[in-house]
Amino acid sequence: MTYPKYDQLYPEIKAALSRERFEHVVRTGEYAVHLAELNHYDTEKARIGGLIHDYAKERPADDFLAEIDKKHLDPDLKNWNSAIWHGVVGAEFAKDELGIEDEELLNSMRRHTTADVEMTTLDKIVFMADFLELGRNFADTDVARDVTEQSLNDGVAWQLEFSVTRLVRNHQAVYPKTIYAYNHWVGGK
């Protein structure tokens, strides 16, 4: 499958996002390159995955709801919000507007918000780079980075445990696919 080069995507992503969000996706791309090097993966594709992952993050809810209908996506998506939509539905915008046809790149965008039981190396790289890019600073950031740099799979499990625990502690719903991912990556150990 095909996808545009990083230098072609850069101005389009920059135009679509606020300065803060754009800086985040650039840092995510940079950290994705680091993780790709550690895991013997295509650094350019990882960098693009990081750059595009939040392409739809700042769109209004009505855009997502219309796209769910237009593309006949799972109607249950309408019960969620931008935290889920910008990845799962956002990949549709990236495909149509940015010309990205590579399913691995599109899936990495879809899965960066939810994780999944089945995740490619690129899925895991983008999932973790979004969480750990150098602008992130939460309790145990260094621990999470160390774990991830030793094992991408262990990093995915670490982030899922951290994120699901936070959602439950804050009395927030957990997306069903994320529960399955948690059970696979954390519970299946």
Q: What is the pLDDT of residues 151-174, one digit of tens each?
A: 999 999 999 999 999 999 999 999
Given pLDDT bands bounded at 50, 70 and 90, which one contains residue 185? Answer: very high
The per-residue pLDDT of the chain, averaged, comes to 96
Report DSSP letters for 136-188, one per residue. Answer: ---TTHHHHHHHHHH-HHHHHHHHHHHHHHHHHHTT----HHHHHHHIIIIIT
Token pair listed for 154: 């262990």
Residue 132 lies in a domain: yes
Given pLDDT bands bounded at 50, 70 and 90, which one contains residue 2? Answer: confident
d(CA 3, CA 159): 28
Domain that holds residue 106: 6-187
Residue range 79-110, pLDDT digits in tens: 999 999 999 999 999 999 999 999 999 999 99
Would you state the pLDDT for residue 1? Answer: 63
Share of the chain above pLDDT 90, in %: 95
| pLDDT over threshold 60, residue 189 | no
Residue 95 lies in a domain: yes
* Range 29-40 average pLDDT: 99
Residue 28 lies in a domain: yes
Any residues with CB less than 8 A from the CB of 105 and at least 6 apart, and which?
1, 3, 45, 48, 49, 52, 94, 122
Residue 63 lies in a domain: yes
Number of domains composing the chain: 1
Would you state the pLDDT for residue 148? Answer: 99
Share of the chain above pLDDT 70, in %: 99
CATH value at residue 29: 1.10.3210.10
Residue 126 lies in a domain: yes
Residue 1 lies in a domain: no
Residue 183 lies in a domain: yes
d(CA 103, CA 54): 16
In the DSSP assignment, the letter for residue 77 is: G
* Range 126-133 average pLDDT: 98
